[in-house]
């Protein structure tokens, strides 16, 4: 299993939107997305770079594997 690249919050949001997630709301520096079919909710911090542990948690919340997420990044 290969490592994920260092990503900005914009890249993470773009990949989530490609996976079908929709913007729900923003609270301070955190953006909340949800998937209308699966009802999964994902919180993305608006940080310059997303730390690896945070990115793993986002993928877990979104129910996406690393390979699926890498394909969504394009």
| Predicted pLDDT of residue 5 | 80
DSSP letter assigned to residue 7: B
Q: What is the pTM of this model?
A: 0.91
pLDDT exceeds cutoff 90 at 21: yes
| Predicted pLDDT of residue 2 | 64
Q: What's the CA gap between 55 and 64, in Å, rounded? A: 11
63 in Cβ contact with 40 (< 8 Å): yes
pLDDT exceeds cutoff 60 at 1: no
Number of domains in the chain: 1
The 10s digit of each residue's pLDDT in 22-73 is 999 999 999 999 999 999 999 999 999 999 999 999 999 999 999 999 999 9
Determine the structural domain holding residue 67 and report its residue range. 9-73
- CA dist 25 → 12, 31, 65 (Å): 16, 6, 25
- Assess if residue 1 is contained within a domain: no
- Assess if residue 32 is contained within a domain: yes
């Amino acid at each position: 299993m290969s490592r994920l690249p260092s990503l900005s919050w914009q890249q993470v949001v773009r990949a989530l939107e490609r996976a079908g997630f929709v913007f729900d709301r923003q609270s301070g520096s955190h953006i909340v997305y949800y998937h209308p079919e699966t009802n999964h909710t994902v919180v993305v911090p608006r940080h310059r770079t997303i730390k690896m542990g945070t990115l793993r948690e986002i993928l877990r919340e979104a129910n996406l594997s690393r390979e699926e997420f890498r394909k969504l990044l394009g």
